[in-house]
C-alpha cells in the first residue's frame, strides 16, 4: 500500500545490499584474501580494545582539520577577491590551472623532503589538494552575483565592507557550501594517499601496513573507516549546511 504524498526511497537498502554482495563474494575466497564483514568487525574490535584505533583516527582527523581549515581561509579570501577583481582573477587563473593539473599526491615526496615525515608535510599536501577547487567554486559564486544588486547597494550608500558583508557574503553562501563539499572530498583523498606513502600513523598507514603484512582484514577495516568518515561528514555536516542556506539560491 502506498501512502499518498510519501515518496518511496531505496537509499536505505544500498548499504545492506553492499554487505550482502561482500559476504557472498567472500565465500569464494579464503579469509586471508577476502575476509567476511564480521571478520573485519572483529579486527576493528581488536584495534578498538588496544586503543590504537582512536590514536590513528585522531591523527588523521587532526591532519585533515589543519590542512582543510587553512584551505578554507585562503580559498575564501582569494576566491572572493578573484570574483570581484578581474586583475586578481587573471593573475590566479594560470596558477589554478597549473596546480589542479598536478595530482596532489605528487607533492608528497617534496613536502617530506622539506618538512620531514610527519604531520606538517601531510597537512601541506591536504592544503594543496583542497585550496584550488574551493577557490574556483567561491570565485564562480561571487561572479554570479547580479550587477544590479551591487549597484543598488552602492546607490543606497554601501561602502566596500558593507557590500562584502551584506551583498557578496549572503549571495555566495550556496557556492561556499559547494566549495566545502568539494574541498573536503579532495582533502580526504589526499590525506589517505599521503599517509600511505610516508607516515607512521593514520588510517592510510593502517591500509598500507595491512597490505605489507598481508592482513586483508586490517586493509578492509581502513577502507571501511575511510568511507564511513566521508559519509558521516557529507550526511551530518555538509548536507545540513547546504539545507540551512538553500533559501539563498532563490534570491
How is the chain split into domains, by residue range?
Answer: 58-144+173-250
Q: At what angle do helices 86-101 and 119-143 cross, to 10 degrees?
A: 140
CB 82 within 8 A of CB 88: yes
The sign of the CA dihedral 110, 115, 117, 118 is negative
> For residue 83, what pLDDT is reported?
85
DSSP state at residue 91: H
Quote the pTM value. Answer: 0.80
CATH T-level fold of 58-144+173-250: MetI-like fold (1.10.3720)
Cα–Cα separations (whole angstroms), residue 49 to 54, 104, 225? 10, 34, 16
CB 123 within 8 A of CB 63: yes
> For residue 130, what pLDDT is reported?
92
> For residue 33, what pLDDT is reported?
87
Low-confidence stretches of the chain (pLDDT < 50) are 1-3, 5-6
The residue with cell 561528514 is 233
> For residue 49, what pLDDT is reported?
87
As a whole number of angstroms, the longest Cα–Cα distance in the chain is 74
Short-list 127, 137, 139, 132, CA closest to 68: 127
- For the chain, give the number of residues: 251
> For residue 1, what pLDDT is reported?
42
Alpha helical stretches, state H, the chain: 14-26, 37-50, 52-84, 86-101, 108-115, 119-143, 147-155, 160-163, 169-171, 173-197, 203-213, 216-233, 239-244
The residue with cell 573485519 is 40
Amino acid at each position: 500500500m502506498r501512502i499518498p504524498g510519501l515518496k518511496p526511497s531505496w537509499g536505505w537498502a544500498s548499504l545492506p545490499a553492499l554487505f550482502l554482495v561482500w559476504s557472498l563474494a567472500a565465500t569464494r575466497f579464503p579469509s586471508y584474501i577476502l575476509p567476511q564483514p564480521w571478520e573485519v568487525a572483529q579486527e576493528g574490535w581488536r584495534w578498538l580494545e588496544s586503543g590504537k584505533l582512536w590514536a590513528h583516527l585522531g591523527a588523521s582527523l587532526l591532519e585533515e582539520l589543519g590542512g582543510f581549515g587553512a584551505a578554507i581561509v585562503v580559498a575564501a579570501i582569494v576566491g572572493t577577491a578573484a570574483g570581484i577583481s578581474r586583475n586578481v582573477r587573471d593573475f590566479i587563473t594560470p596558477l589554478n590551472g597549473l596546480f589542479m593539473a598536478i595530482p596532489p599526491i605528487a607533492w608528497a615526496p617534496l613536502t617530506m623532503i622539506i618538512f620531514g615525515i610527519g604531520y606538517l608535510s601531510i597537512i601541506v599536501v591536504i592544503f594543496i589538494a583542497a585550496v584550488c577547487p574551493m577557490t574556483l567554486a567561491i570565485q564562480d559564486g561571487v561572479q554570479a552575483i547580479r550587477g544590479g544588486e551591487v549597484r543598488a547597494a552602492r546607490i543606497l550608500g554601501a561602502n566596500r565592507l558593507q557590500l562584502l558583508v551584506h551583498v557578496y557574503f549572503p549571495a555566495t553562501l550556496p557556492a561556499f557550501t559547494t566549495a566545502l563539499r568539494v574541498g573536503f572530498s579532495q582533502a580526504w583523498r589526499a590525506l589517505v594517499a599521503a599517509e600511505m606513502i610516508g607516515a607512521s600513523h593514520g588510517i592510510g598507514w593502517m591500509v598500507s601496513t595491512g597490505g605489507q603484512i598481508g592482513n586483508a582484514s586490517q586493509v578492509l577495516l581502513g577502507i571501511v573507516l575511510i568511507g564511513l568518515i566521508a559519509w558521516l561528514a557529507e550526511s551530518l555536516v555538509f548536507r545540513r549546511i547546504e539545507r540551512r542556506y538553500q533559501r539563498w539560491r532563490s534570491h
